[in-house]
Structure 1
Amino acid sequence: MKGKIPTIIVLVMLVIGVVVGVFLVRNRQIFRLGASGEITPKDVRVTNITESSLTVSWTTDNETSGAVSFGKNEMLGQTLLSEVEGQATLHSAVLTGLDPESSYFININSNETEFDNNGVSWQVSTGPVLEPTTETIVISGKILDTDGNPAGGVLVYVAIGGGTPLSTLTSSDGNWVIPISTSRTLDLTSFVSIDEENSLAEISVQGGIGGIASAQIYPISAKPAPPITLGQVHDFRNLPPSTPGETPGATIEIPEGEEQESGFAVPETATASGQTVTLESVDSGEVVATTQPEFFGEGPKGTVITVTLESDPVIDQVTVGTDGEWNWTPPEGLLSGTHKITLSWRDAQGILRALTRTFVVQAAEEPAFTATPSASPTPRATSTPTPTPKPTGSPTPTPKVTATPSATLTPTKKPTPTATGSSLPDAGSPGGTLALVLFGVSLLTFSTLSLALSFKKEKSA
């Protein structure tokens, strides 16, 4: 009996040690997953694909900072901040300055934690260069929250004619404008053919914690469309056409301080601290009635600005004068249709900044500038970069991203995964996990030795 008592005790200790070790490690894993889920990118979508730009948007459960890392290989190398300032649950990053018909690898950064698509980066492609559309079709509207107030900073998506989806962020007044004639066929080789009376526009709204909404409407009745309320499904298919000649009343207020990095080389000229370059002559989505509009704004004197007009394309440079103002006019007349202008410059810290606006030219034989000035920008300090994708499969970010079928990134396996070790971000310090492992190993070793000594004692007795 004397020899059996220690053996039973040791066996009990061994079982307890194993159970406690498994329990502690499992609980820590659950904790890590919970912490990761709060900042994990969800509803990842790729929209507005052209030959030189595209938009990546996503949501998070908690308010986070957002950015996109991208590059032509899996080393990535460039980073572009979200258009949304500060911490938010809705994120959208516009990648500009991309090369036509080129593949790019993309990861999403959320609160400085990098997420990929289950261990591999998303791979996306830009389209070929196309002749500008001969006819510009623009739809607009307003988003309201559940209390009937304007919903600013929410994501609006439009799909029409089976083409690539388009998107935009609402202004502070809840207004939105989208040129649907820029939607391309899924192979990106041509623009979608749109019949304003018969091509149904599918509108979806992502309001984050404010809820979602959807609507169906024909373009002829969406100039502007009736207000869309979050949490509701709208059917506007029976609406009469909008008043002929009615100009969309929505204006998009894109903060001038958005740090969007361009892929074009920009001189290493830094701007004065606390100041930024502004574009005051045209709002995003605005319609201008001249083929040679004048673009102007303000900025720190001496700042060299690279102007990229992507639709033609034209690349030029202009320097901010001693009075803190700059202006630029395209050397040749622009064709009727949708155009995009990007301003790139270096700030005081040498960080590359960029500002992008989309506008519509409706040629009327008018000689001068017709756009309306927009509000002065609010500067914001951040870092930067720029990418480009093509919709195909359905993506999911590293921990896990819930992607939407309409325009998502196709993951491609990395030959040699780098930089991301685990797809799950650590929710605590590595020391905690190591301590738990050492504790379990020590307890198991002690139990095993005790059992061995006990059997030896039994045998000798």
Structure 2
Amino acid sequence: MTKNNIMSYSELYAKNNPRIPTPLALILVLFVSLFFIRVLSSSSTPSRANKVALKRLEITNNFPTQVAVFWQTDAKEKGWIVYGESKTDMDSIAFDDRDLQETKGIYLNHYITLKNLEPSKRYFFKIVRDENSVLTDATGEPFSFITPLKDTNTKNLQLTYGKVVESDGQPLENAIVLLSVKSKYLLSTQTKTKGDWLIPINTDIFDSEGKKIPTLTSSDVFILQIISEDNKISTIKANLANVRPLPQTILIGNDYQFLHQESEVLSVSTSQDQEEKKVYDILYPKENAVIPGKTPLIKGLALPNTDIIVLVDSKKTISNRVKTDTEGYWKLTLGENLTPGSYTVTMVAQDEQKKEIKVRRRFSIAKSGEQVLGEASGEPTIITPSPTSTVAPTVPLSVTPTQPVSGSSFKGYILTGTSLLILGAGLLLAF
């Protein structure tokens, strides 16, 4: 093949495959890149998860094998937790205690229990929010806690419990109950379908670093906060004598103080406690209590493992038979609603000589929306309604990040990758 033929083929190829001038190709690549960046940026506006700040976070119920994490957001959103024993290896996931297996709910108040933990170990966790935004603490590090040693003392278990209702008297379900003492929020739970809640108080209570708090005494003041999903809050200040149970049903949004003193230390055994109390008594409701609900919880004390009759009298008589437990305690939730008005509850029991014993308490059911406040006492007293007083908690929050510091979004990676792909294709086209 001659040189002229080779030149002819080259000229023919060049004519059939004209190149775009390099400056024009670079300008075209730059224009297309900017166009796609503009389009992708306009579609990646900050998600609701990035806009909503974390209002509060508490690490509670620190037991050897589980911990409960509570946090609040400004608006309702989904949320779950990733956690593990290393900052770089958080491969376990926990969802809200109220979530169903296939459905994640949206909440203002998020409550997740981390289970199957190891005693005496530090765990790290992050909060995952809507749009895959990850939330850490104010320094950009994961949140953390240390589980206590396994040999916690459960022999002297005490119970604090109560009931909370809406303004119309209906039970308040799924409200968060936080209990603080010794300047820290340490224990928590959620209200059940009937508005009742219960928190075990152990002589061994630990903070988020696994440190045991000093032994509780009768002079310690408990601060209970009950927070509804529509952000109504009740703050209750009470001493040890008045949280087992709270003397009256709580109307959400109202604040209460029950600070009647009683010389008693938590470490005293339950058998000793019972010896100091009356053998036959109606513990709840208190004398002349005004109850803002339709189905009051009635509790009392009689001989252990015996049957008693509980009568509730007004326009008609409601009768129930109840059996006491091994320590003599009994409780009864009425199976029907009570209308506003005055009532008398009577406990009919027998002593060891089979002699009939009767104990009576008078109480009232409040009208819908009526405010009820009062000071608790060990003996029957008149509880008079008084103006609502705000009891601001003086305890500091265990963890209080004010802004989401690290909010990661996958859209940034998509944007960068697409831009590089367009740029690479343009360079191939140009050269």
- TM-score, reference length from structure 2: 0.50
Question: Who wins on radius of gyration, i.e. which is larger?
Answer: 2
Larger RCO of the pair (alpha carbons < 8 Å, separation 6+): 1
